[in-house]
Structure formats: structure tokens, C-alpha cells
Chains A and B, each alone.
Chain A
Amino acid sequence: MATTSKTLPGADYFTLGNDIADTKAPAGPIEKKWSQRKFSAKLVNPANRRKLTVIIVGTGLAGGAAAASLGEAGYNVLNFCYQDTPRRAHSIAAQGGINAAKNYRNDNDSVYRLFYDTVKGGDYRARETNVYRLAEISANIIDQCVAQGVPFAREYGGLLDTRSFGGVQVQRTFYARGQTGQQLLIGAYQALERQIAAGTVKEYTRHEMLEVIVADGRARGIVARDMVTGAIETYLADAVVLATGGYGNVFFLSTNAMGSNVTAAWRAHRKGAYMANPCYTQIHPTCIPVHGETQSKLTLMSESLRNDGRIWVPKKVEDCEKDPRDIPEEDRDYYLERIYPSFGNLVPRDIASRQAKNMCDEGRGVGPAVKELDHDGNERMVRRGVYLDFAEAIGRLGKDAVASRYGNLFDMYAQITGEDPYSTPMRIYPAVHYVMGGLWVDYDLMSSIPGLYVGGEANFSDHGANRLGASALMQGLGDGYFVLPNTINDYLADQAKFEKIDESHPAVVEAVASVKERIEKLLSIQGTRTVDSIHKELGHIMWEYCGMERTEEGLKIAIKKIDALTEEFWTNVKVTGVNEDFNQALERAGRVADFLELGRLMCVDALHRRESCGGHFRAESQTEDGEALRHDDEFLYAAAWEYTGAGAKPVLHKEHLVYEAIELKQRSYK
């Protein structure tokens, strides 16, 4: 029974529902669970597979891999993406690499160690069983990709090169120069195109999913808009997979692609799929700073820069406008080296990010001042940038050595900023990069709507409160190639027994009508504000109050502001054009409408979780040294939120996290 809990902070904003009792992971020792699950899952006869239709939304690492693999298995797959071709999915932008417990280096790596590192890196907020499975299948992912012709970096002997990444002590990261994501995605894309040619997969590009069809309690299809003609189309299936990526663009500025959005996931949430841990956001410390109000997107620079670059800001506020080369050594504050003498510039992502914010909040940021809103809602101009200085490294190693290590990054920086990082310090600032939160799924990756599966960044399960470097690609491909194709059959095996539905089913009629009604509403407002201006304002609110540091007071302000902005959106937005056309303004409007609702839920989630863990830092919960302080006694659970209607309080369902194979510890970097 849903009851209001006065024991949880922010309880005015939600009600407490039942705990999630079972995640469907089989019993037994952790290393046997996945084999056990594969064995116990019901099978579909190969001859029957082509009679079963699976819709997959998204063509990134998870969606593309799942579509290709299910096509190979013989299912009738319908695959959707909003881009003009499946190869554009944002997985393509991942730079660093992909982890796998291959132990090719003979350096003590193992499935258990990868599992352990991932759970610990996630600050003990991930589900143990899923993470172990991920570590277990990681080696198969590399095999699969190599067989597809993915050109991983190789050594002179012709075997695969690996490197250490993200602060782990083993070299388990496989990479393809600085574009691992692209190469892995092209591998999945090629496998997908092969199935399209074979006729097992039908591809729908420039189609945006706008509603999930839930009939008789099961996901039975989607409503999608053809983005070229504006046609609202119905697609029916026996199961639906969402692999639609993360929602970092709720912050407007992020390293995500411009089109990355939450709409598919949010529509599913509104139809009953729980949204888990939405506030867990990863903020990457080394991005190119914002240059002005017209900035549309932030660009990530590899974290490896911190190995040789020294981070500093001027000690005196009045020096911030000066040419950094004219600031003498004694007037520079190498703040990370000062605060964390042993780790220095190599402190974890969240700490490096938060300290950069603190320096800029003190007024010691550098670079162009940009307009933003302060806590009281007043406009202010703040310099958001800190120096990442290679002068010392160039002096020590020589310019050529620095160029050989970081040349491509320096070139990228020079192209974007017009400054030469060899002669003047780079400017960097943290940016939203990845979201650990997402739709709640069980061990089979099925959401709380039967027949609706969620893979990749769109689900919540594997990274806890913080994701380790080179793990996103592993999870996306793991879900797509190996998990979904071995779990969805368990559901589909029973599907033959269900009644087939057609477009006259009331659930279909309702879904189509609601999509059309919403589009008509968006087009009819014809107010004075552009979609982008509202999106930017939402971004400012989220970044200020639900960004790197969150407080109870700030989150409450944010919720109020988001409510007002939502009202403003639905009464004063201006969407040009008509539905029956290629209409990018309309596309964006629908996405921003969903971001507004998501943003509010993120704030509620952040408000209720009065502890700091991983990417979620609550100012009220820190150690004396300013480190994140977990409260395992109160918050050792995943928060799965249930939608209860527009304006109604969401219901919190707790999935208590059980650690049998790992002991909980508090992390420290001093």
C-alpha cells in the first residue's frame, strides 16, 4: 500500500510504495547465476521465431547489437531510430575504450576483479547480480567485435593492445585510437545491415517513437512519427526493447548529441515503467568550457590529459582576466595538488569536477564570463573555466613527447577554441556526460511493464551511482549481443498463447489519439518563446541546483522553478510549421516537454536521497574533508519511481541492494 513516509526527506513530493521484492535473478552462487538463468529460460522453436515480432527502438551499441542478434536468431525485428541511418547513434562518440576481463596482460585480472571494480566504482549502488554477469560476458564482446572486423589497436606482434583506464590498476581496456565507440558501433551497424539485407530486420530511420502501446498489461507495440512526412504510425509486436540512450540533455548543455533525448523512456515511464535513480548523473571534469550563451553542446576531452597537465586558477580574482602566461608562479593556485596532496590532479572525476566548480563559484574561474542564474534566481556573469597547463610537462618531456601523447586532443582543442594549447594553458570545465539512472529493469532487463525490455544507457542496472571509464561500451554491447537475446525468449515463448491485437484495440486507439492530441497542442500554443530558450532555462536550473552539488533547499527551489517553467512551456511556447512536414522545431518541442517532467523527477529523487554517493553529491552529507559520505543504513537501495499521473506525486519503490559477493566500504582519496 502506498503510504506517505515522513521519515524520508522531501516526502512532501512523493509517496512510498511497496518494495520491489524480486529481481528474478536465480538463486545460487553468483558465478553460476547467468548459466542457470540461460538454462532455465524458456526457448522458442527456431521455426516459430519468424512469427514473433520484436520492436527495438534505438540503433546504438545496445539497440543495434540486439537487433542484429535477434535478427540472426530468426525473429522478425522492427528497428527504429530518429537519425537518418543507424550508424549515427551517439554510442559513436565514445572515445576511450571498452573493458574486458581477458587477462591478456597476465596482470591478475579476472571476471571477479572487473565485477569488483565496477561495483566499487559505482559506490555500492549497483545491483550485484547484473554487474557480475556483465563482467562474465565482457570477454565474449571483444571476441565478437574482432570477428566483425573492428580494428582495435594492435601491437607490432599483431595481437591486441590494452591500456589501463579510469584509475584501475590492470590493463584491461581495449581501444581503437580515440574513437572506440565509433568502431564498435560500425561493427554492430554492419551486423545490423547484414540482417536488413537478409530480411530479418526492417529498419525505420527518421522515425521517432512517441508512445508505447500497453495492451492488457503488456507492451505490444509503439506509436512512431515518420519525421519526414509527419505520419503517425502504429507498429505492433510481441515484445518491445528500448535502447534509447541517456537523458543528459536535460541539462541542455552536455556532451550528448543534440538529438539525444528521454522521450522514448519517459513515454514508457508514463505508461507504467519505473524510472530508477534518475538523479545519478556523471559529470566529466575535462571538457571544453562554455564560450557564450549561444553554445549548443560541450565537447569532452580525454581524461588522460590529467596525467601530465596541472590544473590551476589564479589566486587573485583580479588576475582572472590576464593572459595566464603573465601570471607568476606564486600567484597560481594548483588547488587539486593543494587539497589532495597524494592524488593531486588525478583525483576521481566527481572530486575534480566539484572542486573546479568551487573555484569558479569563488570568482576565480578563467575564460569568458557567461550568463547564468544564481541560487536566488538573479542573473550573474561567471567565468566557468580552470587552466590545464602543460608548460611543466613540455619543459620536462619536450614538446614532441607531449605532442605524441596528446597531439590529437591538442588539435581538437585548437580547432574548437582557436587557441594553441602548446603555448597557452588549456581551459577546461566539467560537463554532463552520462546518466547512470534509467528505466528500472530486472535481471532479464525487463522493465516493470511485462514485455518491455530496456538495454544500454537507457536502463539503470549496472553502474550504480557512478560509471567507470570504458564500461559504457561494455554494457551496451553486453546487453545487446548477449543478455537480451538470451532472456527475451523466456517471455516470447509464452507469447504464442496471448491474443494477437490489431489497430482497432482500444489501447492502440488511445495511444495514437494521445500522440496526435499532444502534437496538436504543441502546435496550437503559438506563444512567444522558442523551444530552445525554454530548454536552456531548464538546463540552467538543473545545472545550478541538481548538478555537481545538490542541497535540500536548492532542490526545492528547482522543483518550484521547473513547475513554473512547465506551465510557461505549455502556455507560451512557439512551435513553427505543421505536423505533416519535416519539422525539427516540433521534434524538439516534444522532447523538451518530456525533459521538463524528467527534470522534476530527478530533483525529487535527488532530494529524497540525503546521502552522497558517486555522481550524486549532497552538500549535507560529506565528511570533514569534503568527501562524499554514503548512508548505507538508510539508502542501500535503488529508487524506482512510479508515475501516477500529471501533477500527482510519484510513488517510490525501493529495490534493496543485497551484497553477497562483495563487502561494502567507504571510499577515500586523501
Chain B
Amino acid sequence: MAVTGLLLIAFLLMHMFGNFKMFLGEEAFNHYAGWLKGETPDGGILYPILPAGAFIWVFRSVLVLAVILHIYSAVTLWMRAKAATPSAYKARKALAQTYSARTMRWGGVILAGVLIFHLAQFTVHSALTAGSFGATYAHSPYKMFVGEFQQWWMVVIYAVWMLAVAMHLRHGFWSAFATLGANTSPKAFRVLNACAWAIAILLYIGFIFAPVAVLVGWIH
């Protein structure tokens, strides 16, 4: 749970950083996208250690594996908790549980659902709402990005989704480090929680920045 979660957080940071290339213009962004897939003339990332275009599949495999293991661990924990709960309290009041902690499980399910849409949209290109890949966006992920996020309701969907992601991370980040044995003093508790907040806020702002920029016309 912890290891895969942290791996996914690391991916999100990279993803967010990549998105910032939107501000450098179409050429830079498209080059970056192509480079990841090994489509650029220089053979792309990690060429020639790996054949051109191989890296992206290794990368995707690791991510898919991480997601599967993450869900598997979550389901296992969920099942154990269910088995350990014979009947619910008639009255129950939480004293320490945060909203993020309480929504980890159903929140995770919702996140996964939107993730499928997101992949269908930007990776498989089967769920593009503002146009079709072949005609308008051919070989320009930049245009695709702009096209999709010029629709205000798409930005709203993403803003809500990213809020859910940020909340999931807020508890997830702290919890992952606690599980890995980093929380061994009250001070460590404070530091980990502060970091969790910082990373959740950073990711939220970082991810929502480019779509908002598209919407308000900074990027076009």
C-alpha cells in the first residue's frame, strides 16, 4: 500500500512537472510528449539503452502494476476491516479521523473511475469531447490539451477530481510514511503531516494551473 502509493505520488509529481511544459509553447510540449514515447529523432528517453519507444511501455507497466497492487492491498485491508466488524455502532463519533482518512476507500474507487476516463481521453483518445484525434489534434498533444480544457465544464470536472486526488494524497502520504516506520515521535508526526499537506496543495495547484490557464486564454 505504502510503497505503491508513494510510487504513484512520484509519478504525479513528474506528470505535473511535464504539464508545465504547456507554458513553453506547442513545440516544447509536443517534443516532450514525443520524447517520452521515443518518437523524437534522437530516439527519446533512455535511447539507446532501450530501443526507441520501449521506455514508455516499461514505464506504463510499472504504473499499471503499482495501481493493481495498490488496489489489491486496499481491497485486502477493506475485507479485513469488514471481517473485524461484526455490527456497526448505533451511535458513533470520530475524534481524530480526518475527512480524507474517512474517504480513502470510496474516494479511491471514485478516483479510479475518473482515471479510466482520463486515460480514455488523453492516452487512448477514445473519449475526447472537443474533437477527434485524427482530424484536429494529429500529432499535437498540445492542441488536444488546449481543445479539451477550453470547455469550462471539463475544467470543473478536473478541478473536482484533483481535489479528490489531493485529499487522497493528504492522508495517503502521511500514512505511507507512518507505515514505513517514519513516524516515531510527536515531532515526526507533525513533520509528516505538514509534508502531506504541502504535497497535496502543490499537486492540486500544479495540476489545475495549466487547464485554468487554457480556460482563461493564457494558453491557446
Whether A and B touch (Cβ < 8 Å) is answered with no
